[in-house]
């Protein structure tokens, strides 16, 4: 099996102004420093709102922090008459490593379909930004037992026409919609079932060595108390954390999941 470095990414969603963002990242950095966190063993990233990115960049650069940061969305276009959109060129200038693409909240409230998600993934890669592709099923699909085909159809659509050298770098986050912000965490076996199927599909779309190198995350009500059991699954390589990433100490604990296995 490839040596995949786990990634713990905090999706702040629409929370924290730019002053609060600086404090939160500072606190996170202190908590991880206190714990002597090894960032080469577990990568840590935050995805703040656009308006915070310049402040986070300034702090990360000034204090030489090992914390990575990214955006929560990106335009499929580089520039032009797209009111309210943020270009990948602007994000690249802000030093972002990652961008979330196709989060279920974008799909639901902004009607993003597979074609848009696919275009945004290509737009990010064209400017050296690694997309975190979010996929996952709603409750109806889960009740019908269709979570795997549903999620794989999203993966197929999102990756259409993506060259292997880009697919090899992508991060895919499996986030069952019914587990987001509900406290209803999928069981480790639920997470493994779909994360494993995503990796197998990557093997079919590309090849097995490529699939073996791609990081597949789980997201949905991840906390320090449940992260270790989820991370123990063979095809789960990290977590996309919403609510719990707004608490620096809690998020640092999540990043240090190996210390509290069984907690
Ligand atoms: O949507 C999520 C991360 O992108 C998950 O959110 P919660 O961790 O708050 O359930």
186: DSSP letter? P
250 lines ligand 1 (CB under 6 A): no
Assigned CATH class of 7-260:
alpha beta
240 lines ligand 1 (CB under 6 A): yes
Task: List the structure tokens of 249.
Answer: 């100490």
175 lines ligand 1 (CB under 6 A): yes
Q: Could you tell me the distance, in angstroms and rounded to a whole number, from the CA of residue 222 to the centre of ligand 1?
A: 7
Binding residues: 11-13, 181, 221, 242-243
Residue whose C-alpha is closest to residue 7's, from 57, 45, 48: 45
Each domain of the chain, given as residue ranges in start order, spans 7-260
H helices, E strands: number in the chain:
12, 8
Angle formed at CA 148 by CA 235 and CA 192, multiple of 5 degrees: 25
Looking at the CA of residue 221, tell me the nearest atom of ligand 1: 10
Cβ(254)–Cβ(241) below 8 Å? yes
Please choose from 45, 180, 186 the residue to mutate so as to test ligand 1's pocket, defined by most ligand atoms within 8 A of CB. 180
Cβ(188)–Cβ(230) below 8 Å? yes
Tens of pLDDT, residue by residue over 210-259, are 999 999 999 999 999 999 999 999 999 999 999 999 999 999 999 999 98
70 lines ligand 1 (CB under 6 A): no
Please choose from 8, 222, 227, 230 the residue to mutate so as to test ligand 1's pocket, defined by most ligand atoms within 8 A of CB. 222
The mean pLDDT value of the chain amounts to 96
Q: What's the pLDDT at 3?
A: 86
Bridge partners of 238?
A: 7
Q: What is the enclosing helix (H) or strand (E) of 139?
A: helix 139-143
ipTM of the complex: 0.98
Residue whose C-alpha is closest to residue 82's, from 120, 108, 49: 120
Nearest CA to ligand 1 atom 6: 242
Looking at the CA of residue 181, tell me the nearest atom of ligand 1: 10
Query: CB under 8 Å to 239, separation ≥6 — which residues?
Result: 8, 9, 217, 218, 219, 222, 227, 230, 231, 254
Looking at the CA of residue 134, tell me the nearest atom of ligand 1: 4
How far is 198 from 133, CA to CA, in rounded Å? Answer: 12
Residues belonging to the active site: 103, 175
Q: What is the enclosing helix (H) or strand (E) of 119?
A: helix 114-126
Q: What's the pLDDT at 185?
A: 81
Q: What's the pLDDT at 261?
A: 60
Tens of pLDDT, residue by residue over 137-196, are 999 999 999 999 999 999 999 999 999 999 999 999 999 999 988 888 889 999 999 999
Looking at the CA of residue 222, tell me the nearest atom of ligand 1: 8
In this structure, is the dihedral angle defined by the CA atoms of residues 228, 64, 72 and 150, taken in order, positive or negative? negative
180 lines ligand 1 (CB under 6 A): yes
Q: What's the pLDDT at 18?
A: 98
pLDDT of 105 over the 50 cut: yes
Q: Could you tell me the distance, in angstroms and rounded to a whole number, from the CA of residue 17 to the centre of ligand 1?
A: 19
Cβ(129)–Cβ(92) below 8 Å? yes
């Amino acid at each position: 099996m490839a040596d995949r470095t786990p990634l713990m990414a905090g999706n702040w969603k629409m929370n924290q102004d730019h002053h609060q963002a600086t404090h939160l990242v500072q606190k996170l950095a202190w908590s991880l420093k206190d714990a002597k966190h090894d960032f080469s063993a577990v990568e840590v990233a935050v995805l703040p709102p656009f308006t915070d990115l310049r402040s986070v960049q300034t702090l990360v650069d000034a204090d030489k922090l090992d914390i990575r940061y990214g955006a929560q969305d990106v335009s499929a276009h580089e520039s032009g008459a797209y009111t309210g959109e943020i270009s990948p060129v602007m994000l690249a200038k802000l030093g972002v490593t990652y961008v979330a693409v196709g989060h279920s909240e974008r799909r639901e409230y902004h009607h993003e379909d597979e074609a848009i998600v696919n275009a945004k993934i290509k737009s990010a890669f064209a400017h050296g930004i690694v997309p975190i592709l979010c996929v996952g099923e709603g409750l109806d699909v889960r009740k019908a037992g269709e979570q795997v085909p549903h999620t794989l159809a999203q993966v197929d659509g999102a990756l259409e026409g993506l060259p292997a050298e880009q697919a090899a770098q992508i991060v895919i986050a499996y986030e069952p919609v019914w587990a987001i912000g509900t406290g209803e965490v999928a069981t480790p076996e639920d997470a493994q079932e779909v994360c494993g199927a995503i990796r197998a599909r990557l093997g079919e779309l590309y090849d097995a060595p490529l699939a073996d190198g791609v990081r597949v995350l789980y997201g949905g009500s991840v906390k320090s108390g449940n992260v270790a059991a989820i991370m123990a699954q063979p095809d789960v390589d990290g977590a996309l954390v919403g609510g719990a990433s707004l608490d620096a100490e809690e998020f640092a604990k999540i990043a240090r999941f190996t210390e509290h296995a069984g907690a």
